[in-house]
Structure 1
């Protein structure tokens, strides 16, 4: 670093989800001989990204993650600037006027594409869209069509089980979570009786976790249905169960459920059933008058390596809705080179690459938009450390901001009439949601820790957005 430079390194992080917050926190805690000044931007008025808008609300452990992120942001050494959309409200060349470093941590929020006939039919849904609905995302429709009685969920990851669990759970059991009122009303009116979850490989190859699996057994008034023919294990499956406690636990859980099912009288009397299918791959979504009318699946078999091959045997399931939960996919970031096949920013260990394949000075990336939508929170922390390691290595060449004054970016946003939220405003919104939960608890049948505010304008009003305050001062 130049000895004549005495100001802090100005850093903008685009995305205030886990990847953005962990990157900011790691930079503040790094053993470095220079100061940093960090702003976290987010397109939503509220922080925490996928943790707030992409995880099922009935996961208690998620509350712990939010509390940890909240503690980081509440220290006061990071600045949150919400309701600012990169590429719309502010652009790359403008950010480079105010910051020396820009880190893109925009995540992956779209559904990966499933290329089979009928995928665009009415009532063929992307799981991410459904998750956004039940999590109270401010930019999605408040209504969700739950008129189908038999639905299919394609995928064997945690999101697939989240979707299946929410579809199968009685609305009264979801009422104790933070779901908004419109979501509760939608779930209460649901016509769903049978949820079929399909995985193309065997029970030993599923991608969900033991906790996700066990949570299915806590659904009230719902019978879990398994199929003996699906319990196929090859040499690779048996080896995986021997070497991995997680695989062994899941296989044992599923096998025990199958044995219990064989011992109980046919029909449990439950009003809903959750069917777990393995070794089934989607071939076609059948349609009638443009709507989902069924799902054609091809039977698969294990090939000895843990992978599968098609058998040619087909089966049709008479479902009226399909939820595609085969993974998330990143969205292109304006003015940044994007890998369309992988759905990530083109980068080398977090250094953003230009059209010539070389690192662009001052531009970095972290999280799912860097590595793809894989891994848990621990991976995100390690991922952030790799990126900031390169920022520290490159620091002597990073001072480029023409106007690094911390107030300058806020003045620009206010001059454009952009009603940005800040950390103080988020805490006001946070407290309001908690108070709303207290009010619902006092007048309702169950205790509620909070009730989410969905509407973006209402969020901004409650947060007393700073641009609005400036306009009336």
Structure 2
């Protein structure tokens, strides 16, 4: 009996969503598959490498587990290949039996207030990319910055606040790039604000991350406009009686404990939680100097509205030198791929990509944030990928076959991908650099150096065109 030739699947994006997809495909026994994982970077792991705070080493273990996906002889990593630059959607669809888009979310939401264009107004996403060592990240200067406002009450704002509040000597035990560590060491930040337009019971940060921030050595914590909800009232002095879920109760208890503690001696930084406020303008002559905030409340439908008509309403202004918005990520359109601009996702039905008429496009699938929006934690991508893969496997027998190796065609058109061996060379160089400095690893964050370490110019180092 002749064995059926393997199906060829392309995954665009080597972050958690793409790697969980590959993992599900490798582990299933229904049909034989060969998998090419494309990424525009020479390094796999996406958000696990560049979006997880350097001091959160336990989460990085997920990357080590997903790295075993590349142990399979049926999987290739093709780095420094970008959709729209090096290959087209049509080229992918014509070369592979199935294509899965798993590119995540590379944009972020805007405040849309006057003054947002001033220097000193930026994105927490970009700030995270900088301290995470992403090669595309713009350098962040903390020169002259004493007060920082993080707008948003999720884990991104909490992570940024913790990195700013932490003693840089503690960060030296991480893989943070030397240039970033030097900037944080020279920082003169004294005050950090976390600002939310709703109360503490609506915050989306997780308890573990919140407690980690609140227990940062040398950090004094105050809570403004929300202190009553944290402390409770005579009629309702426990969060449990308010009908809140377990996470929210734990968050409020953590805030309560922090607010009740005496200030540490000495105080290195001060952290201010300001709830029930939203930005209305950023002010300054040449750069951000002040943040104007408007008191908020909830309308009958639960929407956030100005609280100017209620006691204590109106606006207030706080002096700040840097404002970082952390109000959500957003996926961006891929060249020639259907996209729902309103929702910031590729339109799909349980992972099957849909055209403008709502019909499934044969052989095209999506997973991760660009499938469902920027929600959930890293582990959420596992179940999300499983759903997409289930439909892909169901569809494969009905799809046109493409038996030829697409890498041959890519090379004919001058595309020379980097490989997983190239990533291993980068990995080894980072570990060696760290050892020389007495650190476990030092991340390389310059494109030129990353590419120098890659052996893409050596044909013998490229993936074999006939073997996986």
Question: What's the TM-score once normalised by structure 2's chain length?
Answer: 0.90
How many Å separate the matches in 1 of 2:303 and 2:90? 47
Provide the residue aligned with 1:244 in structure 2.
245
Distance 2:270 2:244 in 1: 33
Q: Is the 8 A contact 2:367 2:384 kept in 1?
A: yes
The answer as to 2:84 corresponding to 1:87 is yes
Q: Contact 1:417/1:467 (CA < 8 Å) preserved in 2?
A: no
Instruction: Verify the 8 A CA contact 1:9 1:399 in the aligned structure 2.
Output: no
Judge conservation of contact 2:294–2:315 (CA < 8 Å) in 1: yes
Structure 2 matches for 1:436-447, cutoff 5 A? 436-441=433-438
**Any idea what SS the aligned residue of 1:377 has?**
coil
- d(CA) in 2 for partners of 1:242 and 1:388? 38
Q: Secondary structure at the match of 1:394?
A: helix
SS at match of 2:284: strand
Say whether the 8 Å CA contact 1:135–1:179 is kept in structure 2.
Answer: yes
Q: Does 1:77 align with 2:78?
A: no
Shift of 1:302: 5.3
Which position in structure 2 is the counterpart of 1:452? 443
- The residue aligned with 1:217 is 214
Identify which of 10, 17, 20 aligns with 1:19: 17
Name the structure 2 match of 1:327. Answer: 328
Q: 1:151 and 2:142 equivalent? A: no
- In the alignment, is residue 48 of structure 1 matched against residue 51 of structure 2? no
Inter-partner Cα distance in structure 2 for 1:367 and 1:467? 34
**Offset at 1:308?**
4.7
Q: Does 1:9 align with 2:22?
A: no
CA distance in 2, matches of 1:316, 1:63: 39
Hey, what's the Cα distance between the residues in 2 that align with 1:440 and 1:240?
52
- Give per-residue Cα distances to partners, 1:192-229, cap 9 Å, x unaligned: 11111101111111100011111113433332222375
* 3-state DSSP of counterpart to 2:335: coil
- What SS does structure 1 have at the residue aligned with 2:83? coil
Find the aligned partners of 1:238 and 1:188 in 2 and give their Cα distance: 39
Q: Deviation at 1:303?
A: 6.1
Alpha carbons 1:17, 1:48 under 8 Å: kept: yes
Cα separation, partners in 2 of 1:420 and 1:106, compared to 1, 3 Å = same
CA RMSD of aligned residues (A): 2.5
Change (3 A) 1:417 1:468: farther
Match of 2:404 in 1: 405
CA contact (8 A) 1:419 1:467 kept: no
8 Å CA contact 2:151, 2:325 repeated in 1: yes
**In structure 2, how many angstroms separate the alpha carbons of the residues matched to 1:421 and 1:218?**
43
The CA deviation string for residues 312-364 of structure 1, in whole angstroms up to 9 with x for no partner, is 12111111210000010001011111111111111111111123321111111
Q: Aligned pair count?
A: 452
- 1:64 aligned to 2:55? no
* CA apart distance, 1:100: 0.9
Structure 2 residue ranges without an equivalent (≥5)? 309-313, 463-468
Secondary structure at 1:165 match in 2: helix
Match of 2:296 in 1: 300
Q: How does 1:29-428 map to 2 (within 5 A)?
A: 29-32=27-30, 34-227=31-224, 229-232=226-229, 238=239, 242=243, 244-260=245-261, 264=262, 268-289=265-286, 291-301=287-297, 308-312=304-308, 313-401=314-402, 404-406=403-405, 408-409=406-407, 411-428=408-425
2:465 aligned residue: none
Q: Secondary structure at the match of 1:405?
A: coil
- Residues 422-444 of structure 1, C-alpha deviations (whole Å, 9 max, x = no match): 11221221122112211110xxx
Instruction: List runs of 5+ in structure 1 lacking aligned partners.
Output: 442-447
Q: Is the 8 A contact 1:15 1:40 kept in 2?
A: yes
Q: Aligned in 2, Cα 1:413/1:185: closer, same or farther, shift over 3 Å?
A: farther
Flag the 1:460–1:412 CA change in 2: closer, same or farther, 3 A. Answer: farther
Of Structure 1 and Structure 2, the greater helix share is in 1
Q: By how many angstroms is 1:179 displaced?
A: 0.6
Matches of 2:241 and 2:432, distance apart in 1: 48
Which 10-residue stretch deviates more, 139-148 or 113-122?
Answer: 139-148
SS at match of 2:289: strand
TM value normalised by structure 1: 0.89
Q: Is the Cα–Cα contact under 8 Å of residues 151 and 322 in structure 1 kept in the other structure?
A: yes
* Per-residue deviation, residues 384-428 of structure 1 (Å, max 9, x unmatched): 111111112212222242xx333x41x344344444221122122
For 1:378 and 1:286, locate their aligned partners in 2 and report how far apart those are by CA, in whole Å.
40
- Alpha carbons of 1:182 and 1:281: their partners in 2 closer, same or farther (altered >3 Å)? same
What displacement does 1:151 show?
Answer: 1.4
User: Per-residue deviation at 1:280?
Assistant: 1.4
Task: Please tell me whether the aligned partners of residues 241 and 251 of structure 1 are also in contact (alpha carbons under 8 angstroms).
Answer: no
TM-fit CA distance, 1:466: 5.4
Deviation of 1:171 after TM superposition, in Å, equals: 2.1
Greater mean alpha carbon deviation, residues 185-194 or residues 224-233: 224-233
